[in-house]
Chains A and B, each alone.
Chain A
């Protein structure tokens, strides 16, 4: 009976409600449509622009799209293993392509670390060092940027602006600048990644601190604790698991970042990868990719496991 009443005639009030609802619906549809149309225009404009300014045109190059697959097929499967473990190749013709033993890191006269393992270790070390460095300074900065601990808006604003600038400043510029001052090597990459990490972690940290429970802080304040004691005994124990979780997330991101920075001249695995791809050394490229892939997965899995242990499932988001 209720349905029949609705379908036939509405009361005056009902009709008004019905009309408003229709209007609302129409307006929402119009906005959605306009938004999508705008997106479509922006997208087609962007695609045209990208295609017009690219060196090769999309449709001209499309047939060559899978060229890189053929660039990756080595002369024989065992070559990948030889490239990875620096074993001499039967195809060695004196060219760079097959001289795997070059670049071995000899620990003693006979025991060596294969070049790419060493480079991978270097990249990993860049990431870990700069994440620890970033955590240290982000940790110090975040308490000055949190509203609940730093009532002075000037100090807070200053700390936040510092972190914003550190975060937004292009890493490649920092790396390039220090590359010009220091010699070639991994240290410019470390400085670049560290500086970015201070900003990124500092921001995540102060958001955690702002959400902290202030009751321990109140208790310490009542007992006459100074600012340092309040932070150290009231806030830090609460936020430390979350900090560690963000630290691990950042570590995952930094492994990737230090690979990329390495490719533009900062040491580590990125540089041999870029060189071997551009010179068409299939076996070397594959060896590096496998190594990199395995490392990234290992770091991701380790960090996911540790994070689950530290904070449980709830803080399981990925941030970049």
Chain B
């Protein structure tokens, strides 16, 4: 005998009619959820207005955002081609160019010729007029002395080697060629010819392609080549910004004797070369050059990173050591004294609610900027947080074990040791590990207000708006540390409490 459990539509409708509350949610509930969503929507609109988000977002300089982002993973070399009134040129690199003091990159081709020219030599600038490389003046300091004795401005005729033609190759399809006051810029198969005249300014021949912009006739033309770089063409100066992927001079800076040498050259110098600095071996010189790389400041960054790690470690460890005895006083099932429970709990709340920021600012005043301040701030805040969590864990323990130990006549301390501790210790340790890991992250932020660690260094690098590659370097280091600690704490916690929690 089989009972047909399937219902037809009419039966289902009948059931629905008999029990309408099962099929349709209560009107009250539906209205409430609609109200909640409407409230959230209204709040978002209000916030949009309160912070004038739309206005800020439209006024933002989004063009520069792309440049900043590109700076994270690439660098620019910025030679300037200076054009004198007679059409002769000079290629100048900025003082701290990533190519070092005597840059002769392959992508800038120069044709030179000798000319005789008459120039006004102003009294003060006489030394500076013939541009000398720093190494030259260093080797022959007497060369400049003779000229400086003469203090009057005068006119002089001299023979000079000048640049007659400069070609900058950005990549295979993009180049700029400058000759006789004419610029030929090629990008993506199109060529733009530009005339540079001292009287009339910058004039393009023909229509400007998409990648070139000029605000007013005669003014400078900006050529944007996308990720390969850009250039400003003005009548007296062409500023080249050639962008290369990667981080410039990450290992050796331009002052290092190992600068611009290939890996095999460096290795052979270190292993078998003559001593560059007679007082020490090449290996120690190389290591020293790496640590004190002026652009990347490896040693400083690593020290600051270690400070951040130490801050989180010591802060959390001390917090759990202090919170451990206190939580027994706060748990109402361990210490049967309501007043004491409340006092200790409110003390925890106080430590927790005075923000980590406030503690950090205070301890920075007390200890001066550095990891001690950050450590103390983490210690104070987390004593409160861990104490609260520990007390809650204690209040949730199983009382049977305690009763068992008590029933054999153990002293109160022994009861805690054998009846309570085995139950809560894994939980305590796991909470402490979790906060250790999470504090490694928050230590970065409070560092930025002066409490030591990599936070301040990050913040300073960002404020300059030009050291984004250093920011990227530090972020990568922080991410590595956070991931290592995350997995370490996960591993230890799963060992402690037998299962994966977070």
Contacts and interface: CB of A to CB of B under 8 A. Distances in A.
Interface string A24-65: 000000000000000100110011011101111010010011
A297 B479 contact: no
Contacts of B462: 173, 176-177, 179-180
Given A51-B372, A56-B368, A264 B307 contact: no
A125 B47 contact: yes
A170 B478 contact: yes
Contacts, number: 189
Interface in A91-129: 122, 125, 128-129
Interface residues of A, number: 69
A61 B65 contact: no
B441 interface: yes
A94 to B, nearest CB: 26
Contact of A263 (B307, B372, B449): B449
Interface string A160-202: 0000110011111100110111110111001000000000000
A218 interface: no
B355 interface: yes
Contacts of B361: 263, 273-274, 277-278
A297 B349 contact: yes
Contact of A273 (B40, B303, B357, B483): B357
B482 interface: yes
A67 B366 contact: yes
Contacts of B369: 54-55
B306 interface: yes
Contact of B56 (A56, A165, A183, A259): A183
A50 B369 CA distance: 11
B51 A185 contact: yes
Interface string B267-297: 0000000000000000000000000000000
A259 B355 CA distance: 8
B474 to A, nearest CB: 8
Nearest to A71: B365
Contact of A172 (B44, B60, B389, B444): B444
B313 A64 contact: no
A231 interface: no
A140 interface: no
B459 interface: yes
Contacts of B307: 49-50, 53
Interface stretch (A5-13, A73-81, A219-227, A288-296): A288-296
A132 interface: yes
Given A43-B314, A55-B368, A296-B353, A172 B59 contact: no
Contacts of B358: 273, 289, 292
B314 A46 contact: yes
Main secondary structure of the interface of B (DSSP, over half): helix
Nearest to B311: A50
Given A53-B303, A61-B367, A68-B365, A181 B60 contact: yes
Contacts of B449: 260, 263-264, 274
Contact of A43 (B317, B442, B502): B317
B445 interface: yes
Interface residues on B, range: 35 or more
Contacts of A319: 502
Contacts of B368: 54-56, 61
B50 A125 contact: yes
B16 to A, nearest CB: 16
A133 to B, nearest CB: 8
B159 interface: no
B370 interface: yes
A256 B51 contact: no
Nearest to B359: A68
Nearest to A65: B366
A51 B369 CA distance: 11
Interface in B329-384: 349, 353-358, 361-363, 365-373, 375
A49 B372 CA distance: 10
B34 interface: no
Given A181-B62, A187-B51, A261-B445, A54 B482 contact: no
B70 interface: no
B61 interface: yes
A318 interface: yes
Nearest to B303: A53
B354 A170 contact: no
B440 to A, nearest CB: 10
Nearest to A50: B371
Contacts of A128: 43, 47
Q: Which of B62, B434, B449 has the most CB of A within 10 A?
A: B449
Given A61-B372, A260-B446, 4 more contacts: A50-B370, A54-B373, A170-B444, A259-B357
26 contacts: A46-B314, A50-B370, A50-B372, A53-B452, A54-B369, A58-B372, A61-B367, A71-B365, A122-B50, A168-B478, A169-B475, A170-B475, A172-B444, A172-B458, A176-B462, A177-B462, A181-B64, A182-B56, A186-B51, A187-B51, A256-B355, A261-B445, A293-B354, A300-B353, A318-B385, A318-B389
Interface of B: 40, 43-44, 47, 50-51, 53, 56-57, 59-62, 64-65, 68, 303, 306-307, 310-311, 313-314, 317, 349, 353-358, 361-363, 365-373, 375, 385, 388-389, 392, 434-435, 438, 441-442, 444-446, 448-449, 452, 455, 458-459, 462-463, 465, 471, 475, 478-479, 482-483, 486, 502
